[in-house]
Amino acid sequence: MKQSVVLGLALGAFSYGWLLLEKAFGLHGPRLPLYVYFVLISVVPTLLLWQWGMRRIRLGLPEAPSFVRLFQSGLVAVGVWALATALGQWLFHTAVSPRFLEEAAARAVSVGLDASTAASTYSLGSYVLQNVASTLSQGVVLAAGFAYFGSRRAEAHRKTTEAVRGMMNGSGKAGSSSAKGGPKSGKRA
């Protein structure tokens, strides 16, 4: 579970770093209309980091991991990620970019959203809650998907390894197939 916590913290740090990158590119100010597209781009490195971390967890397990074991590891990582993201969002929007949510609400009103709806949608508490909810919902789906495919892959790898070991052990003995009456020995059973 330690690796799951580390993965969750790494994803939280990546999310915070992405917020800093958004701020550096001016997406929390003059380039606010491009913000939506930049957020979509963040999905790719997030998925790559998730896959890398969960693969390390799977390979670090002493036995072939089951779906349940991988899913539990994924859920721990998602929980830590959601908490780290909430803390990062709060810190970022109070210390680094305190005007972003006001500007986002003003932009939403300028494109036709009701002022009270924009104010409630882009309040700090609501924004952090939306972020945690999306992180948890997307993370549970990621954890389930990786657990399913990771456990199937581990089982296939285990069977292949056993088959190769069996072939290596069988061919290395003095009594190979020709001495045992195998297909090339000419003996009939």
Mean pLDDT by 10 residues, the chain (189 residues): 92 93 84 83 92 89 83 95 94 89 86 87 89 93 90 72 79 48 49
The structure tokens listed for 17 are: 């770093």
Question: CA 36, 123, 22 angle in degrees (round to 5)?
Answer: 35
The structure tokens 């952090």 sit at 128
| Amino acid 165: pLDDT | 80
pTM of the model: 0.74
Q: What is the DSSP letter of 64?
A: P
Domain ranges for the chain? 2-166
pLDDT reported for residue 182: 47
